[in-house]
With several copies, the nearest count.
Chain A
Amino acid sequence: MSDKTMIEAIRECLRQEMEADSRVVVIGEDVGRLGGVFRATDGLQAQFGKNRVVDMPLAEGVIIGSGIGLAMSGLRPVIELQFLGFGHQAFHQLGQQVARLRFRSQGRHSLPLVIRSPYGGGVRTPELHSDAFEAFYTHTPGLKVVAPASAHDAKGMLAEAIASDDPVLFLEPLKGYRLVKDDVPDERFRTPLGKLRVMREGTDVTLIAWSAASVMVNQAAEILAERGISAEVLDLRSLNPLDVDGITASVEKTGRAAVIQEASFTGGFASEIIATVQEHCFYNLQAPILRITAPDTPYPLGAVEDLYVPDIDRVVNEVTALVQESA
């Protein structure tokens, strides 16, 4: 065990999994010599060579599409998408091919494929680099979607994703790459997909988030506690499979829920969580489920992004109002 930043945990996982299984290959834009624009693959090409860590031509469609082919041929590719926004360029490969190959071939072709991608805002990246686009992928049957918030989970869940015979979209909070730091085993381990993580126990309200928002919400819960509101914080970590039981158990206990997402309001994954919670916990709910999100506008340039992405203040204020109004 030792304290590691999220990016260190990811890099260590990649190195160890590549050491353990020679079928694991890494492909993407600038992943080789440069080690990735966030250095997630730093040192891997030097260690494993140019055939296992491959700088690709700049074309997301064929990066994903050839990754499918590599997997069919017997390898276990881990693809780095430089930013999740550029998944749009590969959307046909992701949504119709990656997610459906097993079904379309009736089980002939497994797809042990991981697509890692930094995502989310808060670090003043250029246009189209910061949007939290997870909802496109959680509405894509056949594709698993994971979005850890801690370095520990990043390592354990990435290892699990690499071991999986289903394709996994692995979302990394780029804001957390260097800011998030926690205790992570030095040796290989796996964290199963489909179980949420209770970041903090509480009795008045359940706060549900994932990825960078979990970290922020947990800080908000601290302040809420000072105000006398006991919030339970759930870090979903895995969006598909989703831990419906874990969510239900918490909301049944607290009777109130708020879902916090970075994405724009309409049609985000928060809507899905709300639809699920109202279905399972209808008779326990003391108030409407609260939705804290960005507005229905495109992710803006850096100088105003703090007005766009939900922050601690908003969570504290809106959750306080929720609890007080339904007390």
Chain B
Amino acid sequence: MSDYRFVPSDEPVAPFNLLAQDGTLHGQPSMTDAQVFDALRYMVLTRTFDEKATALQRQGRFGTFSSVRGQEASVVGSSFALDPSKDWIAPQYRELPALLRHGYPLENFALYFMGNPRGGSIPEGVNLLPLQISLAAQIPQATGVAWGLKLQGSDGVALTYFGDGASSEGDFHESLNLAGVVKAPVIFFLQNNGWAISTPRAIQTAARSFAERALGYGIDGVVVDGNDLLAVYEVTAAAVAKARAGGGATLIESVTYRTGAHNTADDPSRYIDNDELAAWVAKDPIERVENYLRKKGVWSDSDAQQLREECAQEVDRAVTAARAIPLPTSDALFDHVYADPPALIQQQRQTWKKREAQS
């Protein structure tokens, strides 16, 4: 860990990096080739999903949603450092591949963004919090989960995703501070993707880096190149290992870029700088991994082609399955609100059912 830890200094911190865009390696990654293949699959799968869902949304056949485009290495690299059987994820809303790897079905994600409450359903045993729309609200919760695991003697950790925008909320501060005090095994994974809707990073904070904030909470902070799958994995795995060993929390700032729109309702041409965008598109994280594998001689055009075909099929399957699910009835308003629903709510359920039957 000590290699990446944010060490107070008067110099701005350069993000930790292992892989150049052309696939050249700068250090010793600990990800195996098998892991990289698997990771690449999640990256391409969600890129495929993003493209398909965006197209469907334009035709009015899908809801508004936020794609992970451009941030795939950041999300996949970090989630690969977790053990889904005992570690937890508390997501924001832009981390589809992490959810999938952790066990959340793609079909549910599609269903959720088609507006069906059932889409929110998290399978039993999947250690996941719901998608979070109320920015930063998941950060205290992740801290609590991690702390609770520790109190109960588990060596599981919690990792929470959130954006540069969300980091300005008070919940960020309160959580990192508590994590420092109780030494919670939590990884605060801040995706600095340059934007919060139309608000650029420079308006979000005057800090040189977000990671520096870790100092003020007595936890470790790191900055990593978020478009570098290997580096993100490396840093996150180190933070996870430290947390498991009782070393407490880490704030990881993953420097990346949202190369798509904020969501399918957003028009970034109103505010985005085209040159900046182009520069980041040129750092595409999927290309970078493929360049790496090609350089190693373990990846060919036909491998790439086959992967894309498989992903297209998987996405089609999930979307078709989600679309085949009938529209929910009024019961969907009442299910799961309470473990033990008050009489008044039970009566309302009946009233709603009756009204539905009559119309």
The reply to whether B271 and A33 contact each other, CB–CB distance below 8 Å, is yes
Residues of chain A from 283 to 327 with CB closer than 8 A to chain B in the complex: 295-298, 300-305, 307-308, 313-314
Question: B177 — which chain A residues lie within 8 A by C-beta?
Answer: 57, 59, 62
Whether A51 is near chain B, meaning CB under 8 Å from some CB there, is yes
The reply to whether A102 and B337 contact each other, CB–CB distance below 8 Å, is yes
Q: How far is the CB of B110 from chain A (nearest CB, A)?
A: 12
Closest to B167 in A: A58
The reply to whether B158 and A29 contact each other, CB–CB distance below 8 Å, is no
Whether B178 is near chain A, meaning CB under 8 Å from some CB there, is yes
Interface string of A38-55 (1 = CB under 8 A from B): 000000000000010011
Q: How far is the CA of A42 from the CA of B344 in the complex (A)?
A: 38
Closest to A313 in B: B359
Interface string of A144-179 (1 = CB under 8 A from B): 100000000000000000001110000000000000
Closest to B139 in A: A65
Q: How far is the CA of A313 from the CA of B358 in the complex (A)?
A: 11
Whether B29 is near chain A, meaning CB under 8 Å from some CB there, is no
Question: A185 — which chain B residues lie within 8 A by C-beta?
Answer: none
Q: How far is the CB of A240 from chain B (nearest CB, A)?
A: 6
Q: How far is the CA of A104 from the CA of B359 in the complex (A)?
A: 28
Q: How far is the CA of A296 from the CA of B124 in the complex (A)?
A: 26
Q: How far is the CA of A61 from the CA of B148 in the complex (A)?
A: 17
Q: How far is the CA of A126 from the CA of B339 in the complex (A)?
A: 24
Q: How far is the CA of A275 from the CA of B203 in the complex (A)?
A: 47
Also in contact, A127 and B144, with CB within 8 A (given A102-B336, A265-B348): no
Whether A73 is near chain B, meaning CB under 8 Å from some CB there, is yes
Also in contact, A57 and B348, with CB within 8 A (given A51-B151, A92-B134, A103-B336): no
Q: How far is the CB of A12 from chain B (nearest CB, A)?
A: 20
The reply to whether B342 and A70 contact each other, CB–CB distance below 8 Å, is no
Q: How large is the interface on A (under 10, 10 to 19, 20 to 34, 35 or more residues)?
A: 35 or more
The reply to whether B343 and A241 contact each other, CB–CB distance below 8 Å, is yes
Q: A25, A57, A296, A304 — which one has the most chain B CB atoms within 10 A of its CB? A: A57
Q: How large is the interface on B (under 10, 10 to 19, 20 to 34, 35 or more residues)?
A: 35 or more
Q: How far is the CB of B267 from chain A (nearest CB, A)?
A: 9
Closest to B176 in A: A62
Q: How far is the CB of B167 from chain A (nearest CB, A)?
A: 8
Q: How far is the CA of A305 from the CA of B329 in the complex (A)?
A: 11
The reply to whether A59 and B174 contact each other, CB–CB distance below 8 Å, is yes
Q: How far is the CB of B324 from chain A (nearest CB, A)?
A: 14
Residues of chain B from 54 to 74 with CB closer than 8 A to chain A in the complex: 63-64
Closest to A242 in B: B344
Interface string of A94-119 (1 = CB under 8 A from B): 00110001111111111000000000
Closest to B197 in A: A30
Whether B120 is near chain A, meaning CB under 8 Å from some CB there, is yes
Q: Which of A13-21, A82-90, A196-204, A209-217 contacts B (4 or more CB under 8 A)?
A: A82-90
Whether B9 is near chain A, meaning CB under 8 Å from some CB there, is no
Also in contact, A58 and B196, with CB within 8 A (given A66-B147, A296-B344, A301-B116): yes
The reply to whether A304 and B115 contact each other, CB–CB distance below 8 Å, is yes
Whether B330 is near chain A, meaning CB under 8 Å from some CB there, is yes
Question: B352 — which chain A residues lie within 8 A by C-beta?
Answer: 295, 307
Whether B118 is near chain A, meaning CB under 8 Å from some CB there, is yes
The reply to whether B141 and A304 contact each other, CB–CB distance below 8 Å, is no
Question: A125 — which chain B residues lie within 8 A by C-beta?
Answer: 64
Interface string of A108-140 (1 = CB under 8 A from B): 111000000000000011111100000000000
Also in contact, A57 and B134, with CB within 8 A (given A69-B148, A72-B144): no
The reply to whether A126 and B204 contact each other, CB–CB distance below 8 Å, is no
Residues of chain B from 130 to 183 with CB closer than 8 A to chain A in the complex: 130-131, 133-135, 137, 139-149, 151-152, 158, 165-166, 168-171, 173-175, 177-178, 181-182
Whether B19 is near chain A, meaning CB under 8 Å from some CB there, is no
Q: A30, A86, A96 — which one has the most chain B CB atoms within 10 A of its CB? A: A30
Question: B342 — which chain A residues lie within 8 A by C-beta?
Answer: 144, 194, 240-242, 296
Q: How far is the CA of A308 from the CA of B340 in the complex (A)?
A: 21
Question: B330 — which chain A residues lie within 8 A by C-beta?
Answer: 304, 307
The reply to whether A69 and B141 contact each other, CB–CB distance below 8 Å, is yes
The reply to whether A65 and B115 contact each other, CB–CB distance below 8 Å, is no
The reply to whether A61 and B134 contact each other, CB–CB distance below 8 Å, is no
The reply to whether A307 and B175 contact each other, CB–CB distance below 8 Å, is no
Whether B356 is near chain A, meaning CB under 8 Å from some CB there, is yes
Q: B130, B139, B271, B329 — which one has the most chain A CB atoms within 10 A of its CB? A: B130
Q: B170, B182, B336 — which one has the most chain A CB atoms within 10 A of its CB? A: B336
Residues of chain B from 292 to 314 with CB closer than 8 A to chain A in the complex: none
Excluding A60-B169, A304-B333, 14 further A-B contacts by CB distance (< 8 Å) are A61-B169, A61-B174, A62-B177, A69-B141, A72-B129, A73-B145, A103-B120, A106-B117, A106-B120, A108-B130, A144-B338, A300-B332, A304-B327, A304-B328
Q: List 28 A-B contacts (CB under 8 A).
A: A37-B197, A54-B182, A55-B198, A56-B203, A58-B165, A59-B169, A62-B140, A62-B178, A65-B174, A69-B140, A72-B148, A73-B144, A73-B151, A102-B336, A105-B336, A106-B122, A107-B121, A108-B130, A241-B343, A242-B344, A265-B348, A296-B344, A297-B333, A297-B334, A301-B120, A304-B116, A304-B327, A307-B330
